[in-house]
Amino acid sequence: MPTLNLHTNIPVDAVTTSDILKDATKALSKIIGKPESYVMVVLHGGVPIVFAGTEAPAAFAEVISIGGLGQSVNAKLSSTIADILQTKLSIDSSRFYIKFFDSPRSFFGFNGTTF
């Protein structure tokens, strides 16, 4: 159930959105070690964001997972998602925050119940 919520102030077209969703899904699955069939990626483009006092290209992300997160995994995810944002949207890694949350199983619902 790894989930990536990604917000950026850059408007994204359908092709770029699809590329980011695919790349991020593969990255989360591989790095966290969970099947792609459980990964969800949500991309919100064109969101008003001010970072360091400017509206220059920026992003904020949250990664939520039941297990699989930790210092080395989080660092690898941060680097990989920053690379995707740089490549696809020209967002510098210095204008990107990412928050990690290792969720208890009972805090996440799926298929009418919890994990």
Active site residues: 2
Neighbouring CB atoms inside 10 A of 71's CB total 8
Question: From its phi and psi, is residue 61 left (phi > 0), alpha (psi between -120 and 50) or beta?
Answer: beta
For residue 8, the tally of other CB atoms under 10 A from its CB is 24
